[in-house]
Amino acid sequence: MMFKTISFGAILFGGSLAMMPAFAQKADRSEVSVQALGSFVKTTTDNGGAPAGWQIKTNHGRPAISTCTDGDIACVHLKSVNSSFGLERAVDINPAEMPYLSWRWKVSQLPDGGDFRHAASDDQAAQVLVVFADRRVLTYIWDTTAPKGTMASVSSIPLLHVFAVVCQSGTADLNRWITESRNVAGDYERAYLRAAPHVKGVRLQVNSQHTGSAAESYFGEVAFHSTPR
């Protein structure tokens, strides 16, 4: 399956690989929790209002990011209007020791007609991107149209490989917190036919620029684990 745009690569690296060294910074190699990645209930005035420990990365338009609480859930809120941006965090995770990634997310607005399988509609309300030491990427998405369970390569950029997994699709679970758990080591091996190297970065993303629409999502706890959750 081929795509004409560099949507995912541009989202992650601003159209180049220059951002990759930022993911090479060392981080706590014990089990990563929200606290280890940076709290979603704290912001830093010297970092554009991003949660502590996270960096805002903008691909298109103006980012709208805020920390929040929803019941007992500490979360971060992303609102996209004809824009593409995200929050990223450097980590250093050995997937042989901690192969499982879990997170909580909630989508309140899907981009109109979004479908990652087509260049003109390649927008998603929510993505969790996992960046590996070999410049390969897994992206877990909540798509508007593509069926849940769809898996496909989405990048033809030299030296950058991105493989997408649709974890949620459509409106059935809008405005509801969903907990996801993925074996990233297993997903990497299925996508790239080799053992997964260290994870060097995690990114939380929203996009609506291709469809010229709007999208809104929330992210809660993000953690790596040695056993399934």
The predicted model scores a pTM of 0.83
pLDDT at 52 (0 to 100): 77
Contact 163, 138 (CB under 8 A): yes
Q: What is the pLDDT along the chain (229 residues), one digit of tens a residue?
A: 333 233 334 434 433 333 333 444 444 444 443 324 555 766 655 566 678 788 899 989 898 898 888 888 889 999 999 999 999 999 999 999 999 999 999 999 999 999 999 989 999 999 999 999 999 999 999 999 999 999 999 875 667 799 999 999 999 999 999 999 999 999 999 999 999 999 999 999 999 999 999 999 999 989 998 888 7
Cβ within 8 Å of residue 132, ≥6 positions away = 138, 188, 196, 197, 198, 199, 200
Element (H, E) at 81: strand 73-81
Tokens of 116: 């990652």
Cβ within 8 Å of residue 56, ≥6 positions away = 47, 48, 49, 50, 63, 65, 85, 86, 87
Domain spans, the chain: 7-16+28-225
Superfamily per CATH, domain 7-16+28-225: Galactose-binding domain-like (2.60.120.260)
Cβ within 8 Å of residue 175, ≥6 positions away = 106, 107, 108
Residue 28: name the closest of 181, 199, 187 by CA.
199
